[in-house]
Amino acid sequence: MATTDKEVNELIKREYEHGFVTDIEADTFEPGLNEDVIRRLSAIKGEPEFMVEWRLKAYRRWLEMDEPDWAHVGYPKIDYNAISYYSAPKRPEDMPQSLDEVDPELLRTYEKLGIPLHEREKLAGVAVDAVFDSVSVATTFKEPLAKAGVIFCSISEAVRDYPELVQKYLGSVVPHGDNFFAGLNSAVFSDGTFVYVPKGVRCPMELSTYFRINAANTGQFERTLIIADEGSYVSYLEGCTAPMRDENQLHAAVVELVALDDAQIKYSTVQNWYPGDENGKGGIFNFVTKRGAAIGKNSKISWTQVETGSAVTWKYPSCILRGENSVGEFYSVALTHNYQQADTGTKMIHLGKNTSSTIISKGISAGKSSNAYRGLVKFGPGADGARNYTQCDSLLIGDRCGAHTFPYIESKNKSAIVEHEATTSKVSDEQMFLCRQRGIDPEQAVSMIVNGFCKEVFRELPMEFAVEAGKLLEVSLEGSVG
């Protein structure tokens, strides 16, 4: 035991790599939330009337709601009036039309994060809608997408340019009253991504967004809406990092996916928000509502997430399987260390006939962290022949961390089939000894063992993301052993 503990303690002490703050003048609201703030926010964004009404309705609903307290996490009470609800990089003109017009300071930020936009667009063929603070500042690859008829823009643009789509689908999967954080997001969402893939179109490239929280005391409220029309396919990548700071920051995003008949949406996330320091100081509160509605027959929604960041994570990317034969998937790696807390999992709601879902969850806990899987598999009365397979594995590193599994199964249909497997294991002294006896550094050994543990999830990630995810785990476990 002695070896592993010592190694792991070292391992966990690595510094957060993306901990720098970019000096860009921000145009920021004073802290506080009321109807006026929402009207101002909406006005700045030039939103139509329906949008401001929608936000206000959400706000009024939110005022009546309580913050959820059932998750296996603890954090100080958040003062929602101490948060500023709008922040944008200052710019004299309108949105830049090309990278040349983007603030060089901002581009350097991306460089530091290892996201060279211009290289990425050429090499990887990835279109990037970069969200910096609250406003989209650079969008690339719009043209080939436009040719295919794919709409890929900021949600603010979509509200102005495609109001009928937004009105039809915004809030259709995650309504105002769904939960406290989604309600807040609906009232004050700053920006985010909108994707519409028309009938029969296979999106010609992976779509990607990088997030970054920047200005101090700024809550970031991303709103993403992806609609895949009949017979279409889209793969969307989301990755985020945040600068190091001491105050906790709230991040309450909402992502809605809608898949019509025979459509497929693949949504992949690498989440690396600032997790706080080794004493548990600082770090992001990541309270996210992600849900996909497979409303069409034979439609498919697939979530893959690699969660290594944030001080507190509260996140359950879910699928509502309404269409006949629709498929839901959830592949997750959640790594916590130091004092990080994660309560994450999924909900698979089977409503249609012959719907099926797969859940593969890999939780890795190190340091004094707490890592919980929480999952609901529900079969409605109409879900004849529906089935679910759940595999839930926990890996413990050291002996001061915790892993918890809270699986819920509700069935109102006798023909439904559920399989559930769960394991808990440790990076064993024997494994470490074998690796070290073969000349492998303890640090590299832990990283190798952890990556092996996550293999089933990593192979679901798009290629370049899989590499990034492997590196991220390595970095997250760096400096630990000695």
Partner 1 sequence: MLSIKDLHASIEGKEILKGINLEIRAGEVHAIMGPNGSGKSTLSQVLAGNEAFAVTSGEVTLNGENLLELETEERAREGIFLAFQYPVEIPGVSNLQFLRTSVNAMRTHRGEKEMNAAEFMKLAKEVSRQVDLDPAFLKRGVNEGFSGGEKKRNELMQALLLQPKLAILDETDSGLDIDALKVVADGVNALRAEDRAIMMVTHYQRLLNHIVPDYVHVLAGGRIIKSGGRELALELEEKGYGWLGIKEDAAEAAN
Residues that bind partner 1 (CB under 8 A): 2-3, 428-431, 433-442, 444, 448-449, 451-456
CA distance 415 to 141: 47
Residue 74 has which token pair? 């603890």
Q: Which is nearer to partner 1, 114 or 452 (CB)?
A: 452
Residue 240 has which token pair? 């985020």
Least separation in angstroms between residue 11's CB and partner 1 is: 15
Name residue 195's beta-bridge partners.
Answer: 152, 226
CB count, 10 Å around CB of 53?
12
Q: Which is nearer to partner 1, 5 or 278 (CB)?
A: 5
Angle, CA of 210, 369 and 112, to the nearest 5°: 25
Least separation in angstroms between residue 294's CB and partner 1 is: 30
CA distance 374 to 314: 10
Q: Which is nearer to partner 1, 422 or 434 (CB)?
A: 434
Least separation in angstroms between residue 435's CB and partner 1 is: 8
**Strand duo 318-321 + 284-294: pairing:** parallel
Q: Which is nearer to partner 1, 58 or 457 (CB)?
A: 457
Q: Do the Cβ atoms of 402 and 369 come closer than 8 Å? A: yes
Burial class (CB in 10 A: 0-12, 13-18, 19+), 5: middle
Strand order in the sheet with 264-272: 135-139, 127-132, 207-212, 233-241, 264-272, 300-307, 327-336, 356-365, 387-396, 417-426
Burial class (CB in 10 A: 0-12, 13-18, 19+), 81: exposed
Least separation in angstroms between residue 7's CB and partner 1 is: 10
Least separation in angstroms between residue 135's CB and partner 1 is: 41
Q: Which residue type does 417 have?
A: I
Least separation in angstroms between residue 387's CB and partner 1 is: 25
Q: Which residue type does 474 have?
A: E
To the nearest 10°, report the CA torsion of 59, 61, 67, 70: -140
Least separation in angstroms between residue 1's CB and partner 1 is: 8
Q: Which is nearer to partner 1, 151 or 366 (CB)?
A: 366
Q: Which is nearer to partner 1, 50 or 433 (CB)?
A: 433
Q: Which is nearer to partner 1, 192 or 442 (CB)?
A: 442
Q: Which is nearer to partner 1, 298 or 451 (CB)?
A: 451
Least separation in angstroms between residue 401's CB and partner 1 is: 20
Least separation in angstroms between residue 5's CB and partner 1 is: 11
Q: Which residues contact 438 (CB under 8 A, 6 or more apart)?
A: none
User: Would you call 79 helix, strand, or coil by DSSP?
Assistant: coil
Q: Which is nearer to partner 1, 226 or 334 (CB)?
A: 334
CA distance 263 to 300: 6
Q: Which is nearer to partner 1, 17 or 429 (CB)?
A: 429
Least separation in angstroms between residue 319's CB and partner 1 is: 26
Q: Scanning the structure block, which residue is given the tokens 């769904």?
A: 178
Q: Do the Cβ atoms of 111 and 102 come closer than 8 Å? A: no
Q: Do the Cβ atoms of 324 and 352 come closer than 8 Å? A: yes
